[in-house]
Amino acid sequence: MAAPKGKYAWTVKIGEKGQFVIPKEARDLFGIHPGDTLILLGDEKRGLALPPKDTLEALMSHLLGEESLKGEEEK
């Protein structure tokens, strides 16, 4: 069965420290590089989600207000 266009699935194993490796194909596809900060979201009913890495910046901008971020840059 072929996956719908733009949809992907990978399997990962959880290590003893609770860590897993994001597959290279996924890192390449989503531009994830060593040192990047990602956000992991969880919902007890729906599970875990690892949204695109620019989501963290957009979330912070929304929470703090775009003007607050611009004001910090000017200081």
For residues 32 and 60, which has the higher predicted lDDT (pLDDT)? 32
Q: Average pLDDT, stretch 44-71?
A: 79
Distances in Å between the Cα of 8 and the Cα atoms of 27, 55, 64 are 12, 19, 33
Full-model pTM: 0.66
Using 50, 70 and 90 to split pLDDT, how confident is the model at 54? confident
Interval 6-48: pLDDT, tens = 999 999 999 999 999 999 999 999 999 999 988 888 999 999 9
Asked if residue 66 has pLDDT above 70, the reply is: no
> Which residues, in sequence order, are CB contacts of 9 under 8 Å at separation 6+?
3
